[in-house]
Amino acid sequence: MSVSQLRALKVLAESEKGVIESSETSGQTKLKGKSLGGVFSSLSRQQIDGLYMIEAWGRSVSGRGLRWRLNPKTISRSELKRVVKEVLEV
């Protein structure tokens, strides 16, 4: 995974509701527009034991972009937060 993907996962893991809009992560990932969409698109194709890691969760409130959520069947938010923090600190 790229650093941008890990940062996006970190934002997702730290979100209160477990659902984020891709535009919410632009500040933390330092990406915008198509680059940011590409990060989430590639993450949505990542699988753990045959299950997708993140899922599209409808359109954003603004109508531009998508909302994303972590698939709870693959990994919990707390476990993802721990793993991503560990990898990013190395």
pLDDT tens digits, residue range 28-65? 677 766 677 788 889 899 998 999 999 988 888 777 77
Look up the pTM and report it: 0.80
User: What is the pLDDT at residue 61?
Assistant: 79
Residue 26: predicted pLDDT: 67
Domains and CATH numbers, the chain: 3-89 (1.10.10.10)
- Contact assessment for residue 40 and residue 24, using Cβ atoms and an 8 Å cutoff: no
| 25-58 b/e (C-beta count within 10 Å ≥ 16 → b) | bbeebebeeeebeebbeebbeeeeeeeebbbeee
**What residues form DSSP beta bridges with 54?**
70
Q: At 81, phi and psi to the nearest 5?
A: -60, -45
